[in-house]
Amino acid sequence: MWNPPVNRQDSYSTAEPLGSQQLPNPDKSRAMDLEHSGKTDEDHEIDGCISNEQFMANAIRKMMFVSGETAEPSVETTTLIEEIVRQQVIEILSRSTTLAARRGVRSISTDDLFFLIRHDKAKVSRLKTFLSWKDVRKNVKDSDDKGGGDAADFGAGDDPLAGAAQDVAAKPKTKRAKIGLPWDLNNLYPVQVPEREDEEDEEEEEQNYATLQRLANADERTKNMTREEYVFWSDCRQASFTFRKAKRFREWAGFGIVTDFKPNDDIVDILGFLTFEIVQTLTEEALKVKEQEDRGKKGHGGSEEGGEKSKKRKRETGLFDPPEEGRVPIEPKHVHEAFRKLQATSNRAVAMLLHGGRAPIRTPLRLI
């Protein structure tokens, strides 16, 4: 099993504290937030003199904050998460390049990336939704550039009812494009069943439980926020390694070293989505590890080791325990344990890896 790289001690300055407030998740998709966000002062600062290490650390802090980490993570923690994410991206590019070579082409397609995460149906569903909204925004922008609504306004005259009717007719209903994959069952048949407007995607409903759970948790965090806190939360939700920073991301991920092809916008957007998912999953798992550790310390009266004193007398809190209101951020050890759990191989997978009754010397890296 692959071990995360050892923490490196960087001397770059940390970002501003994220604060102790918790902030919401509106029912808009994250993709819509990314598109409608304007260029802030931070974007200009990032485009200027901030190094890649500082840029990645700032983005990771925001992603961790949205994922539930309300305290300020240390430099060692963000550096470790950055190394894990980078290793995951390199593994994704390497496997995608291998899949493309099997098809006899050099460039990676979106189907190659979908194929790598095909077993995680919830993530596939979220990625389809992300790309569908991206297609909707592109179509709306193209229709606005053509200026189709001017003719309707000119022909309306002084009749407001006629103008309203022509305006509705001039603006057709925008519908999300349904993304199909080559290995889907429906694509095995030459004739496709026409879609109905009132048809609901049952598969998407079944696979979005994790997404709905995250939305519920975010709604619980943000329901008591002030306007300023919510603005900060919304800014953190828009954190991305790739949005308007594709050049930095390509340099950071090692394009040109791992693979020779030049990625298009769709590939970069998908990788940006997957990196956000990786940071979010790592943070959520690390928080679970820390919560379990805190419960164990609390049960033993604040001592890490259950000695004879803890057996004789159990205390809810130790004498030198920090106050309950003091939120301690997750540490590198929690991230290491979270990564170990996410890399744990199931018994079924181990059985598939057996060769002649012998366990493999090294298990492959699992994609988070």
Whole-Å CA distances, 269 to 35, 263, 265: 12, 10, 6
CA distance 343 to 333: 15
pLDDT of 194 reads: 73
Task: Work out the burial of residue 345: count CB atoms within 10 Å of its CB; fewer than 13 is exposed, 13-18 middle, 19 or more buried.
Answer: middle
Token representation of residue 251:
């340099």
Smallest CA-to-CA distance from 42 within 243, 218, 252, 267 is with 243
Looking at the domain assignment, is residue 199 inside a domain?
no
Please give the Cα distance from 59 to 61 (Å, whole number).
Answer: 5
Nearest to 320 by CA among 305, 307, 303: 303
Considering only residues 354 and 80, tell me which one the structure prediction assigns the higher pLDDT.
80
User: Looking at the domain assignment, is residue 235 inside a domain?
Assistant: yes
Q: Are 173 and 187 in contact (CB under 8 A)?
A: no
The SS3 call for residue 28 is: coil
Query: Could you tell me which residues are beta bridge partners of residue 358?
Result: 355
- Say whether pTM exceeds 0.75: no
Q: What confidence tens digit (pLDDT) does each residue in 269-313 have? A: 999 999 999 999 999 999 999 999 988 888 776 544 444 444 444
| Residue 112 covered by a domain | yes
pLDDT over 90 percentage in the chain = 24
| 202: in domain | no
> Which residue type, as a one-letter code, is found at position 80?
L
Per-residue DSSP letter, 238: T
Domain region containing 279:
1-9+16-119+213-301+328-368
User: Does 174 map to a domain?
Assistant: no
Beta bridge partners of 355: 358
Of 32-41, 138-147, 233-242, 292-301, least confident by mean pLDDT is 32-41
| 208 domain residue, yes or no | no
For the stretch 170-195, pLDDT in tens is 444 555 667 777 777 777 777 777 76
Model pLDDT for residues 28-56, shown as the tens digit of each residue: 444 444 444 444 444 444 445 677 788 88
pLDDT tens readout for residues 99-114: 999 989 888 999 999 9
Q: Is residue 231 part of a domain?
A: yes
Whether 285 maps to a domain, the answer reads: yes
Residue 25 has, within 13 A of its CA and on its CB side, a CA count of: 20
The total of structural domains in the chain comes to: 1
